[in-house]
Amino acid sequence: MRTTITIEDSLYNEIRELSHARNIPVKTAINIVLATGLQSLSNKSSESGFVQKTFGMGTPYSEYDLIKALEAAGDLEVSEIKRKLDLRK
């Protein structure tokens, strides 16, 4: 495929030096550099998985033991139901 791209002068000089060192055309050197770069990028993205950052938020203030959260939720639900029933009287 033919296309026109703009390459930084310093990059073009490095590619030209690579083509002279390997005795290959500049076009081939550009294709090698692009393929190598794309392969490198795809390898890095598959190797580095998502890492969740964590932050200390201090000690929670609660009248309930947070180890027994389900029991605490049940107590809160019961007290709310009682409150609503008392409002209907």
Taking 90 as the threshold, does the pLDDT of residue 63 lie above it?
no
What is the pLDDT averaged over residues 39-52?
73
CA distance 7 to 9: 6
Work out the pLDDT band at 50, boundaries 50, 70, 90: confident
The values of phi and psi at residue 42, to 5°, are -70, -35
pLDDT of residue 48: 62
Least confident piece of the model among 3-7, 14-18, 30-34, 46-50: 46-50
- Under 8 Å CB-to-CB from 16, ≥6 apart: which residues? 26, 29
Taking 90 as the threshold, does the pLDDT of residue 27 lie above it?
yes
CA distance 31 to 11: 13
